[in-house]
Structure 1
Amino acid sequence: MTRRKAFKQPSVIPGFGLAMGFTLAYLGLVVLVPLSALVLRSASIGPSEFFAHASDPRVLGALRLSFGASLAAACLNAVFGFLIAWVLVRYRFPGRRAVDAVIDLPFALPTAVAGIALTALYAPNGWVGQLFAPGSVLGGLFGAGGLRIAYTPLGIVVALTFVSLPFVVRTVQPVLEEFDAELEQAAATLGANRRQIVRRVILPSVLPALLTGFALALARSVGEYGSVIFIAGNIPYVSEIAPLLIVIRLEEFDYSGATVVAALMLMISFAMLLVINLIQAWSRRRYGHGA
């Protein structure tokens, strides 16, 4: 009787068993079942057929572009997202609340609308694109042909940077707000310059959150479709992303080909997220900060 009472302790959260059961069921239906179906479908394809689809130069080019552009966008957002969060937290200036609200615009804006707007801006005759057109001042810096942004891989990076920026800013911003400024003052009192304070005091505290924002931005960029197809140009072997290739394979009723591309994206995404999580764990052990 005593053991029974000791085992059945009252839960801190009322209805914990029901809430946990609902959580696991919802997670299974929304995440695990679709992923399991993809894995089972991939397993039903023979190894030779799977390798034939996976080694297709068009598939390899699309995967290389999708993950390369996503990695570039996530790296850009890791740098500039940190700077934006720093400015929003540390400085007070007119229009600060408006700038802070604009950061969330990619969350609310439909991706297709974002793609059309970016294409209109960065097209050769757009407001920004014409600044880099042949014969322009900025275009002359890139040779006689100028710099073409829309309908190129560069345009894809621009679109992915736009849609994934909020993930870094909103992940780093709360950490900077909770950071104790007295630590900077103490480091300065001990003779540290600004660069040493950033590298040895601020960055170790922010690094786990920054890596989390980087991972979220990368995951968001890899699966992006709506904002990219308008600005990419969708030229095979040049500016065709992997999600678009999956749609094309489905429209061609090539379900095996679509499944292989999706499975490859899933495996590469898991591998990249695993590496990022390992780096996060190392940073927590190294600097002793949680996230």
Structure 2
Amino acid sequence: MKDGGRVLPGLRLSLGLTLFYAGLIICLPLAMLIIVGARLGPAEYWAVVSSPRAVASYRVTLLSAFAATAFNAVYGFLLAWALVRYEFPGRRLLDAIVDLPFALPTAVAGIALSGLFAKNGWFGAPLGAIGIKVAYTPLGIAIAMAFTSLPFVVRTLQPVLEELDGAIEEAAATLGARPLQIFRRVVLPVVVPALLAGVSLAFARSLGEFGAVIFIAGNQPFVSEITALVAYIRVEEYDYPAAAAIATVMLATAFVLLVAINALQAYARRHEALR
């Protein structure tokens, strides 16, 4: 095979197009965001990003995103396991429904969730009877985030679970390993890198979710107001530097967390390779 055995020749062209796309579509908007935020002086920037309302929105956004991601890590794994390992009526339909949050406009998802969890909704009424309020609370925000980010966990885990040879689990069982030991020593080490990848994508999506959240959150400052909405309000007030400053905080937070999760993925892969 020509060109050093490469199926697709043209390193310079392909690399050039890749870097051009990354610079134009990804780096340029982020750089502009930082430049606009830098129009504020250090004192003004700090005053904007550390205002009580902004800090409260960081807390609501991060805690809700962590709660949604923790739920999706468990439920997404169980759903992916069921779709891969078991045959049951409606399996194909369920597998298709998993992708629904990808195709459904987030505003539609928010309206649907608001209707379900309102005081007189199908879920909101019985939950309210036992003292659990979902709509217009951080719990509602977490549910909206979990709804929109679940497919990232499921679709990341499915290929790994499909490639996991069931004979290895059977061999462990014949050697006397208990189900919990098989899961902890055979299954979990293989799926951890994929699980971390899915969790990181789900968390990043939760941090940036807007349309599905604002309908069910109630958007009460210091109670159920997310950071994206605070930035949007600043845009509506034509205070673009303040909006950019708040956005850079979430950008930095997401970047740090993604780097940390990628480092954990690399550690998990090295640990598995040494076993």
TM bracket, shorter-chain basis: over 0.9
2:270 and 2:24 map into 1 onto residues whose CA distance is 35
Between 1 and 2, higher relative CO (CA 8 Å, sep ≥ 6) is seen in: 2
1:285 and 1:23 map into 2 onto residues whose CA distance is 28
Q: Classify 1:177/1:34 alpha carbon distance in 2 versus 1 (closer, same or farther; 3 Å).
A: same
Deviation for aligned residue 1:11: 4.8
Question: What CA deviation, in whole Å up to 9, does each residue of 1:125-174 have, x standing for no partner?
Answer: 000000112xx3xx1xxxxxx11101111000000000000000000011
- Correspondence for 2:272: 287
Q: Specify the code of the residue in structure 2 equivalent to 1:240.
A: E
Runs of 4+ aligned residues of structure 1 deviating over 4 Å after TM superposition are 8-11
- Correspondence for 1:76: 71
1:108 and 1:221 map into 2 onto residues whose CA distance is 16
Identity across the alignment (%): 55
Deviation for aligned residue 1:27: 1.2
Structure 2 gap ranges (5+): none
1:128 and 1:52 map into 2 onto residues whose CA distance is 41
TM-score by length of 2: 0.96
- Correspondence for 1:155: 140
- Correspondence for 2:162: 177
- Correspondence for 1:40: 35
Taking only aligned residues, the RMSD between alpha carbons, in angstroms, comes to 1.4
Deviation for aligned residue 1:43: 3.0
- Correspondence for 1:165: 150
TM-score by length of 1: 0.91
1:11 and 1:79 map into 2 onto residues whose CA distance is 40
Deviation for aligned residue 1:264: 0.5
Correspondence for 1:65 among 57, 60, 67:
60
Give the secondary structure class of the aligned counterpart of 2:110.
helix
Q: Specify the code of the residue in structure 2 equivalent to 1:230.
A: F
Q: Specify the code of the residue in structure 2 equivalent to 1:179.
A: L
Structure 1 gap ranges (5+): 1-7, 140-145
1:198 and 1:9 map into 2 onto residues whose CA distance is 42
- Computing the radius of gyration from Cα coordinates, the structure with the larger value is 1
Q: Do structure 1's residue 276 and structure 2's residue 271 form an aligned pair?
A: no
Q: Classify 1:10/1:171 alpha carbon distance in 2 versus 1 (closer, same or farther; 3 Å).
A: closer
2:233 and 2:97 map into 1 onto residues whose CA distance is 34
In the comparison of the two structures, how many residue pairs are matched?
A: 272
1:85 and 1:62 map into 2 onto residues whose CA distance is 33
Q: How does 1:71-150 map to 2 (within 5 A)?
A: 71-133=66-128, 136=129, 139=130, 146-150=131-135
- Correspondence for 2:212: 227
Deviates more, 1:43-52 or 1:146-155: 43-52
Q: Tell me if the contact between 2:36 and 2:240 (Cα under 8 Å) persists in the aligned partners.
A: no
2:4 and 2:173 map into 1 onto residues whose CA distance is 50
